[in-house]
Structure 1
Amino acid sequence: MNLNRLCMTGLIGCAALLLLTAPRINASTPGPQPAGFGQDRDDWQRPPDAWNDMQRRGFHDGIEGAQKDFGNHRRPDVDNRDEYRRPDVPAQFWGAYREGFRRGYDVGMSHLTGANDWRMRAPERPWDAPPNEFDQLRRQGFQDGIEGARKDFDNHRRPDVNNREEYRHPHLPPEQREAYRDGFRHGYQVAVDHMMGGHDHDRDDHDHHR
Structure 2
Amino acid sequence: MKLNRIATPLMAVVLMSGAPIFAHAQNSQKQNTPAQVQDWNTPPAGTEQVQQGFRDGIEAAKLDKAAKRKIDAKSSHLYKNPPVKGAAKDDYRNSFEKGYQAQLEHDNAGM
Bin the TM-score by the shorter chain. 0.5 to 0.7
Q: Does 1:146 align with 2:58?
A: yes
Q: Deviations over 1:47-103 (max 9, x none)?
A: xxxxxxxxxxxxxxxxxxxxxxxxxxxxxxxxxxxxxxxxxxxxxxxxxxxxxxxxx
2:38 to 125, 148, 151: 125
Which amino acid letter does the alignment assign opposite residue 165 of structure 1? Answer: H
CA contact (8 A) 2:50 2:91 kept: yes
1:124 deviates by: 5.9
Larger radius of gyration: 1
Q: Deviations over 1:118-173 (max 9, x none)?
A: xxxx9963220122x33321111000000000001111223101110110111321
Q: Does 1:171 align with 2:83?
A: yes
Question: How many residues are matched?
Answer: 77
Structure showing greater relative contact order (alpha-carbon pairs closer than 8 Å, 6 or more residues apart):
2
Structure 2: segments with no counterpart, 5+ residues: 1-34
TM-score (norm: length of structure 1): 0.33
CA contact (8 A) 2:73 2:97 kept: yes
1:178 deviates by: 0.6
Which amino acid letter does the alignment assign opposite residue 39 of structure 2? Answer: P
User: Paired residue for 1:184?
Assistant: 96
Identity of aligned residues (%): 32
Matches within 5 A, 1:61-210: 125-131=38-44, 133-198=45-110
Superposition CA RMSD, Å: 2.2
